Structure 1
């Protein structure tokens, strides 16, 4: 459930912020670089690490020194930075925040650092105006996973969320949208209307996410923000592996592997961010999902679908107004869609609905899948000219694809993640 709430009708009441800092640390345990609470040593897939719990709120109040840094080691000891619940960076999730009133907190995560969700509903939320600076390398990626010593689980924590003000066609007429899964009426994004009313709100960066792994996540909403049972939650809500709410093209996202996520691998709610070099393996629902007028680009995408999965691409414009503007019309190029066995029990590779457009080129759909290429919903915003250079054995049931060819190369590249199990849970 995605709610549109006018800022004037909603009080920005999140309760007191747990930790604030005017300097570049949170004043916590020295063994945790002053930015976490020491919980002792724990086993992880790559050996024992010191567990350092992050506070629920990370907000810096000194604009000249807004950075909180999470190193991979402290005094030679590897650190496991832990999300005890939902960890919120900045305060842009509060209703009514603008680029001039939101805290400009930056969370820097060092190459090789490990971050673990401790409960099903734990998540890392980068709010409007805040930034993540997570720049791993191929040799030392940043790994987000659950609090155990393997990568074989699913739905063991939530995921990573970035949010900003960029154009989102569900709330671009003077209001704000609320996030899924953790919303509780308190986690807001969007708010851009136009350049006259909200100048440059659609050009605010959410930072950098590069050479990062997000594993074992995907929260099906049946608990509240603290992880307790929530009988009033809407089962249509979820936390995806990587969720991008109104994120702009000023943000840099590249070389990300999302593995064993119980819900969608990646979902875009409006915005126009570009994502390059993306691996999504074993998503329980859709691998790629976009809504609310997303108009960015995805290039170099490798998808491994497990049995029981839904679509490789589920693409919508707006479920409440199919013609809402800006119309979702992203560009997708260089894609390989693979399957875990020779008789895949999955839904159609493509589901375009609710007025979504899109262009698709250089796509290889594994020959093991011979069912329908498309779900049979309305696809009035796309035509055959939007699909070029495809290789497939599926049934082009909507007559949108060019003749299958062996020329496409897709994106068969192996992941940078050396600990990738290679199989689904």
Structure 2
């Protein structure tokens, strides 16, 4: 493996001719404080755990690479319960997790649709989940590994800080139809800070939450092979400024939202609050019929979406589980644990009529109720473009258009109080600029309109 310094002078200032450092599971043990610096490239040789009581500090501009491998030979970085990671990049010097095959400043060095070259980043905490046992074994880690456990009783649990981090080309398979997500969060508590994180070209989901209460801002899921934002097992955190764009040929839902697994009616219910999301699918005329729903809500999941834009999915808008008996997501909608309000829906493959966007009568009645302020209308983006290197993707709504103002302000003071709809402020620079794979590969506009 070679490392090439690129042409971006801001990135060049982060490090000087990094050298390779092999990292093994035995390297970060309980009581250790380990410091990774930008003058090295750290190569994951197996499942590397940040053990209970250990601390891992990663400097801005540091690159972490995973070797290939599947099943028990997969490579990933896992923060165990009681461990902490402090991965604090900057806009000019992001921290990059990627494959050993990736020259990080040469964006056409890998085939455009390649995924699953290594594992991913997994963070496990001690917040509450809604399974009968109160804990679980995270997907992607063999059940024989006790450090793969997550869950507890501390919703304020702190697993560290992940900021300005880009996770690329992950999602290796560990079994039949079982891949690792880009960023997996199991029972992560609200004491953890997660913001400005991108997952690009992952084989499985971009982000997945298994219970917990962690709040997450400024998330990007780009060109992943499955769902973009997936939650399960009673996730109850806040989210603001979530953005996804799907590959025209692969990818599933914008949001796949499950309430529980064992049992489905376990408490606490999944009820995150998400404001200012922009979900762009594979294209209304694409051949990717797996890009079926912008939102699939099931298994008794609740949740609250507001001030958000959904567009360019191949099939329809919202599917809410409706069972003949027992608890389900329809009931969560009827009692107010599931709400969707102040949202815009535009250009779907099945058409933009209320019947096509919201096929179930009860969903359609809710979505079209004027009291919920949902609109079927063009958000007037600068431009939607899926092409590599085109520099034409501009997911900001027009400042004078319907999404330039009129947002409802969430009651929780954690949220930034902004008046626009969607993940991006009209006429302001894209917050993805400079640190994301999307920006570096030339998908997005660089500045201005």
TM class by shorter chain equals 0.7 to 0.9
Distance in 2, Cα, partners of 1:261 & 1:388: 30
Is the alpha carbon distance of 1:422 and 1:343 closer, same or farther for their aligned partners in structure 2, counting shifts above 3 Å? farther
Distance in 2, Cα, partners of 1:354 & 1:339: 23
State the partner residue of 1:70. Answer: 36
State the partner residue of 2:10. Answer: none
State the partner residue of 1:28. Answer: none
1:247 paired residue among 146, 164, 188: 188
Task: Tell me which moved more, 296-305 or 151-160.
Answer: 151-160
1:411 paired residue among 401, 420, 423: 423
2:293 paired residue among 348, 373, 380: 348
Structure 2: runs of 5+ lacking an equivalent:
8-16, 323-328, 349-356, 368-373, 380-401, 404-420, 425-429, 445-449
1:382 paired residue among 333, 336, 357: 333
1:181 paired residue among 133, 137, 140: 140
Q: What are the within-5 Å matches in structure 2 for residues 130-145 of structure 1? A: 130-145=83-98
Distance in 2, Cα, partners of 1:209 & 1:376: 32
Is the alpha carbon distance of 1:170 and 1:281 closer, same or farther for their aligned partners in structure 2, counting shifts above 3 Å? same
1:192 paired residue among 145, 149, 152: 152
Contact 1:50 1:80 in 2 (8 A): yes
**3-state SS of paired residue (2:35):** strand
1:129 and 2:82 equivalent? yes
**3-state SS of paired residue (1:212):** strand
TM-fit CA distance, 1:309:
1.1
2:22 paired residue among 30, 53, 70: 53
1:109 paired residue among 58, 67, 78: 58
State the partner residue of 1:211. Answer: 164
Task: Tell me which moved more, 115-124 or 392-401.
Answer: 392-401
Is the alpha carbon distance of 1:81 and 1:365 closer, same or farther for their aligned partners in structure 2, counting shifts above 3 Å? same
CA deviation string 1:331-365 (max 9, x = no partner): 11101112454623212111100000000011111
Distance in 2, Cα, partners of 1:371 & 1:105: 46
CA deviation string 1:155-196 (max 9, x = no partner): 0001000001110112555xx311212223214333425xxx
**3-state SS of paired residue (2:155):** helix
Is the alpha carbon distance of 1:156 and 1:44 closer, same or farther for their aligned partners in structure 2, counting shifts above 3 Å? farther
CA deviation string 1:36-81 (max 9, x = no partner): xxxxx7234749642211121334454xxx42100001xxxxx210
How many residues are matched? 342
1:294 and 2:230 equivalent? no
1:372 and 2:340 equivalent? no
**Could you state the TM-score of these two structures normalised by the residue count of structure 2?**
0.71
Structure 1: runs of 5+ lacking an equivalent:
1-40, 74-78, 91-102, 194-200, 223-234
State the partner residue of 1:118. Answer: 67
Decide which structure has greater helix share: 2
Distance in 2, Cα, partners of 1:370 & 1:43: 39
**Could you state the TM-score of these two structures normalised by the residue count of structure 1?**
0.75
CA deviation string 1:87-113 (max 9, x = no partner): 1111xxxxxxxxxxxx42110000000
TM-fit CA distance, 1:315:
0.4
